[in-house]
Chain A
Amino acid sequence: MERIEPIEAGGKSLRLVARLDVKGPNLIKGIHLEGLRVIGDPGEHARRYYEQGCDELIYMDAVASLYGRNNLLDIVRDTARHCFVPITVGGGIRSEEDADALLRSGADKVAVNTAATERPALISALANRFGSQAVVLSVEAKRRPGTAGKQWEALTNNGRDHSGRDVVAWASEAIALGAGEILVTSVDQEGTRKGFDVDLMTAVCDAVNVPVIASGGMGSMADLAALTRAASVDGVAIADMLHYKRATFDDIRAACNASAVPVRQVA
C-alpha cells in the first residue's frame, strides 16, 4: 500500500486521541461539561476505539474533585491490559502518590488541573519524579466576557469553579515548571459540535513549545481541517463524535487522508 507523505517533512502525524470522561462506573458526556449523560461502559468503549485504531486514549475522572481523589485505577488497569496505545489519566491527581499509583497501573501520563492551580509546585514535583513527558497540564478554558474571544480564564473542578488565572499565562507558567504537554479543553465549545475554539488553540500553541492537544467542539471533519490549518496543534481529543457513534476512527483517518492532514497510517 502506498504511503502518503505527510505535509511537513517531519514524519510526525496529528495524534487522534479518544477522550473518555468517566463518572463512577460510567462513560459520560455533557455539553459545556454540564448535563452529564451516561453513555455506557468505559472499558468497552476504550477497547473499541483501540481496535478502530485510535492513536491514544485519555481518561478523565469527572467527579474526582468531589471525592477528593481519582477513582480510575481499576478502569486504567483493565484498559492497559487490552489497549496498547498511550494512556493519559486525569482528574483528582493531587500528589506524587496519586500519580505513582496511576503510572504503575498502566497510565503513561498524568494530567493535572485543579490541584496544580492551587499548588503549582505539584507540577515540578511530578516532573522531577516521573519526567516531564509524563506530566500533562489539563486546562479548561472559558472565554472571558468582553474580550472579543481573545482571552480565556482557566476553570477548575470539571468546569465548575474559577481559578482567576489567564489560560495563556498559566500555560507558560506550567511549562516552565516542567509540564511536558498541554491538553486544552474549550468549555465554550465542548459538546456543542460547533467546531474548536481555534483562537484559543492558536494562542496556546504560540505561547508554549510543548505538544498541545486540542479538545472540545468537533462536529465534523471540516472542523478538524480548519483547526489544523490555523493552529499548530499536535493532537485532537475527540469524544462526542465517537461516543454518539457519529464517526469511527477509520472514518476520521480516511477524512484526514483526503484533506492532507498527516496522520498515522494503519494497515
Chain B
Amino acid sequence: MRFPRHVDIDFSEFSPENGNPSPRYGLRQDIQFCRKCVISNQRPSSEVEFRHNIATRKVTIVFDEDGICDACRVAELKHGEVDWEERRRRLVELCDRHRSKTGDYDCLVPGSGGKDSFYAAHVLKHEYGMHPLTVTWAPHIYTEWGWRNFQSWIHAGVDNYLLTPNGRVHRLLTRLAVENLYHPFQPFILGQKNVAPKMAEKMGIPLVFYGEHEAEYGNPRADFESPLRDRQYYASEQSAGMMFGGVSVEELIADFGLEKQDFIPYMPADPTRLSEAGIEIHYLGYYLKWHPQSCYYYAVDHGGFEAAPERTPGTYSKYNSIDDRIDDLHYYTTHIKFGIGRATYDAAQEIRSRDITREEGVALVRRFDGEYPDRFERENFEYMSLPPDEFPKAAAHFEQPIMDREYFLHLADRFRSPHLWVLDGNDWKLRKTVWNESSQ
C-alpha cells in the first residue's frame, strides 16, 4: 500500500530533552528571526515545482551578518536608493516598444482579479496606454468573494481568459502533493508560473507583466537587479525527470490513471519556443514601487474590489490572497514544515511596506500564526478525497482515500521537523518563536 493511513513517528526526536534535533528538508539547524521584520531564516525560496520531491533540499532566505533578511534589504533599496523616476522611464520605453499599432493585445497580465493584478492591468491600460489581455489560472476552489472580485475586474474593463484545469486531475495532484510534500498548493503554483508564458507564446504576445517582484518577499536579493523572472521556474528543456505532486510523470501515467494530455496545463514552457517568440516575463514591481495596501485602495476605488468579510485563518488580513479556499491549508502546511504561518508572511510584508511596526507584527504573529483553518475544512477535505468511483486507479494506492481531520493532522506530524518542533505532553510547540527568541 503506497499511502498507508498511519506511519509510526519517532516522537523522541521532538522531546524537549533532545539537544541536537536534526533539521529536515535541508533547512538550517539554527533558527533566527530577522531583526527588522518577523520572517525566520527557515523561509524557503521559490521552488522549481515541477522537479520538487521530498528529497529536495530547500534554499532559504538569506540573512546578512546584521541579522537582517534579504527582503528587508530589498525594501531598504525600494524606499531609498532606487531611482523610481528612472525605472518609470524604462517602463514607458518598454511599453512604447510593445504598444500595438495594429489593434492587437500588446501585453499579457496574469492574475486573479485580486488587488495586485487589478492594479497591474488597470494601470497598464489607463496610465501606460497598453492593451492588456489578462489570463487567470483558476483557484482550486473559488471563495464567493474571490469570484465576485474576479468578475469586478473584468467588468472594470479587461478581456480575460480563465483556464481551469481538469477537476479530477487537479484534485489527484493536490492529494498527492499533500501526501508526498504536504504542499496542497503545488498544483496551483505550477499553473501560476507556467500558464502565462505558454499563453503568451500561443497568442503571440511577447510582453508579460507579473506584479510584485519576488525578491521583495525573500527570493534572492540579487534577483531584484533584474526586471525579469528567472526562466528556470517556468521553462524547461528536458521533459525527463518531471514530477507533479512528488510523483514522476511516468508513474502518474502507469499507476494513477493519467495520460500525457492530463499534464498539459502543468508543464513548463519550452524555452526554445519562448526565445523564438521573444517572450519576456517582467515584474511590474521592478518599474513601479509596489505597495500592496495601496493596490487595495486602488482596486476599491477603480473597480469595487471587496475585502473578504472575515479574516483568513492564521492571519489578521482580509485582503491578501482571498480567492482560493485551499489557500487556508497552504499556510497551515508552511507553518508545520517551516514554522512560518500566514500572519508571519502578511506581517513581514506590512513591516517592509512601513504599514505596521515590528512590535505590532510580533504581536500579530503570536496571536494568529498557525491557527487551524476550520472554516472551509469540509469542502477542502472533500476536494482532496479520492473516492474510488471517481478515481478507480488512484484510490487503490491509498489505505484511506477519503481525507478527514485526523488523517490530515497525522500527516502534519509526519512532516514536522524536529529542529523546529517540540512535543510537550500532547501539545506541539515551536522551539523558538519570534515573540520569545530564547529556545524552549
* Chain A positions near chain B (C-beta within 8 angstroms): 23-24, 31-32, 34-38, 63, 66-67, 142, 145, 159-162, 192
Instruction: Choose among A32, A67, A161 the residue with the greatest number of B CB atoms under 10 Å from its CB.
Output: A32
Given contacts A24-B360, A63-B360, contact A32 B293 (CB under 8 A): no
* Chain B, residue nearest A194 (CB): B304
Given contacts A34-B318, A35-B297, A160-B316, contact A66 B364 (CB under 8 A): yes
Closest CB-CB distance, B102 to chain A, in whole Å? 40
Q: Are B363 and A192 closer than 8 Å at their CB atoms? A: no
* Chain A, residue nearest B375 (CB): A162
Indicate whether B311 reaches chain A with its CB closer than 8 angstroms.
Answer: yes
* Chain A, residue nearest B317 (CB): A34
Q: Are B311 and A67 closer than 8 Å at their CB atoms? A: no
* Chain B positions near chain A (C-beta within 8 angstroms): 144, 293, 296-297, 300, 306-307, 309-311, 316-319, 355-357, 359-360, 363-364, 367
Q: Are B355 and A36 closer than 8 Å at their CB atoms? A: yes
Q: Are A162 and B310 closer than 8 Å at their CB atoms? A: yes
Docked pose: A130 CA to B317 CA in angstroms: 36
**Residues of the A chain whose Cβ atoms lie less than 8 Å from the Cβ of B309:** 142
**Residues of the A chain whose Cβ atoms lie less than 8 Å from the Cβ of B296:** 31, 34-35
Q: Are B310 and A35 closer than 8 Å at their CB atoms? A: no
Given contacts A36-B355, A63-B360, contact A31 B311 (CB under 8 A): no
Closest CB-CB distance, A153 to chain B, in whole Å? 9
* Chain A, residue nearest B297 (CB): A35
Closest CB-CB distance, B73 to chain A, in whole Å? 23
Q: Are A161 and B357 closer than 8 Å at their CB atoms? A: no
Q: 5 nearest interchain CB pairs? A: A35-B296, A34-B307, A160-B311, A34-B318, A32-B307
**Residues of the A chain whose Cβ atoms lie less than 8 Å from the Cβ of B310:** 160-162
Pairs across A and B, CB under 8 Å, 20 listed: A23-B356, A24-B360, A31-B296, A31-B297, A31-B300, A32-B306, A32-B318, A34-B307, A34-B317, A34-B318, A34-B319, A35-B296, A35-B307, A35-B319, A36-B355, A63-B363, A66-B316, A142-B309, A160-B318, A161-B311
Docked pose: A38 CA to B354 CA in angstroms: 9
Q: Are A35 and B293 closer than 8 Å at their CB atoms? A: yes
Docked pose: A160 CA to B364 CA in angstroms: 12
**Residues of the A chain whose Cβ atoms lie less than 8 Å from the Cβ of B306:** 32
**Residues of the B chain whose Cβ atoms lie less than 8 Å from the Cβ of A160:** 310-311, 316, 318
**Residues of the A chain whose Cβ atoms lie less than 8 Å from the Cβ of B316:** 66, 160
**Residues of the B chain whose Cβ atoms lie less than 8 Å from the Cβ of A192:** 300
Closest CB-CB distance, B70 to chain A, in whole Å? 26
Docked pose: A147 CA to B360 CA in angstroms: 37
Q: Are B357 and A31 closer than 8 Å at their CB atoms? A: no
**Residues of the A chain whose Cβ atoms lie less than 8 Å from the Cβ of B355:** 36-38
Closest CB-CB distance, B396 to chain A, in whole Å? 41
* Chain A, residue nearest B359 (CB): A24
* Chain B, residue nearest A63 (CB): B360
Docked pose: A38 CA to B356 CA in angstroms: 9
Closest CB-CB distance, A53 to chain B, in whole Å? 30
Docked pose: A63 CA to B316 CA in angstroms: 11
In the complex, which of the residues B293, B319, B360, B363 contacts A37, with contact meaning CB atoms closer than 8 Å?
Answer: B293
Docked pose: A159 CA to B360 CA in angstroms: 17
Closest CB-CB distance, A151 to chain B, in whole Å? 14
User: Could you list 4 further interchain pairs (A-B, Cβ under 8 angstroms) beyond the known A34-B307, A66-B363?
Assistant: A35-B297, A36-B355, A67-B363, A160-B310
Q: Are A23 and B360 closer than 8 Å at their CB atoms? A: yes
Docked pose: A31 CA to B309 CA in angstroms: 12
Closest CB-CB distance, B55 to chain A, in whole Å? 40
Docked pose: A35 CA to B116 CA in angstroms: 13
Instruction: Choose among A31, A34, A63 the residue with the greatest number of B CB atoms under 10 Å from its CB.
Output: A34
* Chain B, residue nearest A160 (CB): B311
Docked pose: A63 CA to B363 CA in angstroms: 10
**Residues of the A chain whose Cβ atoms lie less than 8 Å from the Cβ of B293:** 35, 37
**Residues of the B chain whose Cβ atoms lie less than 8 Å from the Cβ of A35:** 293, 296-297, 307, 319
* Chain B, residue nearest A155 (CB): B310
**Residues of the A chain whose Cβ atoms lie less than 8 Å from the Cβ of B360:** 23-24, 63, 66
Docked pose: A38 CA to B297 CA in angstroms: 13
Docked pose: A187 CA to B148 CA in angstroms: 18
Closest CB-CB distance, A56 to chain B, in whole Å? 28
* Chain B, residue nearest A35 (CB): B296
Docked pose: A66 CA to B360 CA in angstroms: 8
**Residues of the B chain whose Cβ atoms lie less than 8 Å from the Cβ of A31:** 296-297, 300, 307
**Residues of the A chain whose Cβ atoms lie less than 8 Å from the Cβ of B364:** 66
Docked pose: A116 CA to B318 CA in angstroms: 24
**Residues of the B chain whose Cβ atoms lie less than 8 Å from the Cβ of A38:** 355
Closest CB-CB distance, B15 to chain A, in whole Å? 32
Closest CB-CB distance, A220 to chain B, in whole Å? 16
